Amino acid sequence: MTARWEAVIGIEVHVELATDSKMFCGCAVEFGSEPNTNVCPVCLGLPGALPVPNRKAIEWIMAIGLALNCQVSHKSVFHRKNYFYADLPKNYQISQYDIPVCHDGYLDLPNDGESVRVGIERAHMEEDTGKSTHVGDGGRIHAAKSTLLDFNRSGVPLVEIVSKPDIRTATQARAYAQELRAIVLELGVSDARLEEGSMRFDANVSIRPEGSDVLGTKVEIKNMNSFRSLERAIDYEIQRQIEATGSDSDVIQETRHWDEEAGVTHSMRTKEGSSDYRYFIEPDLVPMIMDETWVATIRNKLPELPAQRRERYLGQGLDESSAGVLSDSPAMLRSLYDETVSLGADTRATANWLTGEVTAWLRKTGTEPADLRLEPVHLQELITIVDEGVVSSSAAKEVLEGILSGEGSARVVAERRDLIQISDSSALAEVIGHVLEEHPDAVASYQEGEQKVVGFLVGQVMRATQGKADPKLANEMLREALGGS
């Protein structure tokens, strides 16, 4: 008997905010500084130090919440979450408990077939911990091993975004994480660098018989450092749980660690008497009131978000794939798209040029998108002259290169580089006459019904004109001259 299983997945995402200063003190938020140089009494937990919250961090978590369609709490408070750990200087973390800044939102995943809406339980504000580095080999001699502690990261503003268990597959989980990253990047509130840990994921995975409402035993997986490993880890875990269910090694509630190299999850030793965090309201801080005016100010400053943008592009006639690609393109290219289209250029052609040839040119020349010099009016003219047949589409690529190298407008480049197509029928008639004279065999074949020699003859016309003939026109005129239809 093979039961069909369904996975129930929730994702917790931690995003470090890229504010200038830390959550509760004036130390710099900076990746890669010398150890323990961005520290002060507050983020080192020295006796007597007190936290004062960073207004910008609160505004940024509000922006994240609003972008995720969340409610912003009218009143929110910080709690102390108590646990002892060497890289947690106060041995409590200032976090939030029952009244987070944002709650009850959702995120629609980019459409690939059917739309998936993932509920957002909450987004709360907290402080990051310091960093432990374990040194010495894992040998038997304990004394040989030690932990090096750097508190530069201690107190960096951290937003925790908790999804509802609405995700069903590893692919969806990956799409969710990627979409979330695109949003925080769009908001400009985080570097969201997975490899530096400024964006981190944990996944809660359980399985249940398909169609059931029961929740299975939940396993938390940690240590996924890329989108790929998030997807692999979840896939692995689902499979592991299916195999374990019913066998002797039944699924237990635990935290498991993803081992990227081995491609498996390992059980982590459970904490002795763990997780009685003794939350209570942080008495060193006062409540935050996020009134309607404040929320409206933040809402009005929100940029266009990826999902809205894709929707707009689709409405402008782009297909899903180019809408997606353009939406994920650098801001410079997106604004070029908007400006060019506003001049009346065709939306699809504009998107294709920008995501295709322009992007390729940037890559080839190693140019930063921000340094791109391309006048929207030049791109529009390029699209027009291709459309009008003034230049062929292959010649157009060369025209673009000329434009990007600063040689002038599309027409100027086309003329200067001698790329204008011959679309003057009298000039072309002369060339065609020569070609037909030179290839009597081909003419004969055609008249015997061999239609495809037209292609050969067009090629000869193109050769004779060094590629400047309008192939469409040449084709028409050849057929006419050959006495066909």
Partner 1 sequence: MTLHEKTIVEAGRSLRSGEVTSEDLLDAVLLRASQTEAQLHAYLTLDKEGAREAAGQADADLADGIDRGPLHGIPIALKDNMCTRGVETTAASQILAGYVPPYDATVVTRLRDAGAVIVGKTNLDEFAMGSSTENSAYGPSFNPWDIGRIPGGSSGGSAAAVAAGSAFGALGSDTGGSIRQPASLTGIVGLKPTYGTVSRYGLIAFASSLDQIGPLSKSVEDAALTLEAIWGHDPLDATSYSAEYPDVPADLDTGVDGLKIGVIKELAGEGYEPAVESSVADMVQSLSEAGAEIVEVSLPTVDIALSAYYLVAPAEASANLARFDGIRYGLRVEGETTEELMARTRAEGFGPEVTRRILLGTYALSAGYYDAFYGQAQRVRVALRDDFARAYETVDALVSPTSPTVAFPAGEKIDDPLSMYLTDICTNPANLVGHPGISVPIGLDEQGLPIGFQVMAPALGERVLFRVAAEVERLAGFGARPVIEELAS
Partner 2 sequence: MAIDIDIAHVARLARLGLTDEELEGYKSQLADILEHAARVQSLEGDPHPGSAHPLGFDNAFRDDERRPSLDREEVLSQAPEAMDGFFVAPPALETE
Would you tell me which residues interact with partner 2 (CB under 8 A)?
A: 19-21, 25-28, 34-41, 44, 52-58, 75, 82-86, 91, 132-134, 136, 142, 145-151, 257, 268-269, 271-274, 276, 278, 281, 283, 285-289
Please, are residues 80 and 282 in contact by the beta-carbon 8 Å criterion?
yes
- Taking the complex as a whole, how short is the minimal distance between the CB of residue 46 and partner 1, in angstroms? 7
Q: How far is CA 398 from the centre of its chain?
A: 31
256 scored as a contact of partner 1 (CB under 8 A): no
Distance CA 343, CA 348 (A): 14
| Residue 37 binds: one of partner 2, partner 1, none (C-beta under 5 to 8 A by kind) | partner 2
| Residue placing its CB nearer to partner 2 in the complex, 257 or 479 | 257
- Taking the complex as a whole, how short is the minimal distance between the CB of residue 141 and partner 1, in angstroms? 11
Give the amino acid at 439: H
Residue ranges in 147-166 that form contacts with partner 1 under rule CB under 8 A: 147, 149
89 scored as a contact of partner 1 (CB under 8 A): yes
Single out the residue of 28, 30, 37, 50 in contact with partner 1 (rule: CB under 8 A). 50
b/e burial code for range 226-260 (CB count within 10 A of at least 16 → b): ebebbbbbbbbbbebbbebbeeeeebeeebbbbee
Q: What's the alpha-carbon Rg for the chain, to the nearest Å?
A: 31
Diameter of the chain by CA atoms?
Answer: 101
91 scored as a contact of partner 1 (CB under 8 A): yes
Per the structure block, which two tokens stand in for 79?
Answer: 């709690």
| Residue placing its CB nearer to partner 2 in the complex, 149 or 244 | 149
Per the structure block, which two tokens stand in for 336?
Answer: 């070029």
| Residue placing its CB nearer to partner 2 in the complex, 262 or 370 | 262
b/e burial code for range 314-326 (CB count within 10 A of at least 16 → b): eebebeeebbbbb
Question: What's the burial of 392, exposed, middle or buried (CB within 10 Å: 0-12/13-18/19+)?
Answer: buried
- Taking the complex as a whole, how short is the minimal distance between the CB of residue 138 and partner 1, in angstroms? 14
- Taking the complex as a whole, how short is the minimal distance between the CB of residue 281 and partner 1, in angstroms? 8
Three-state helix/strand/coil letters over 224-242: ECCHHHHHHHHHHHHHHHH
Q: From 114-122, 230-238, 276-284, 465-473, give the range in contact with partner 1 by CB under 8 A.
A: 276-284
| Residue placing its CB nearer to partner 1 in the complex, 51 or 216 | 51
| Residue placing its CB nearer to partner 2 in the complex, 56 or 348 | 56
Start-end of H helices in 288-358 = 292-301, 306-315, 320-327, 331-342, 347-353
Residue ranges in 10-49 that form contacts with partner 1 under rule CB under 8 A: 41, 44-49
Contacts with partner 1, residue ranges (CB under 8 A): 41, 44-53, 80, 82, 84-86, 89-92, 142, 147, 149, 276, 278, 280, 283-286
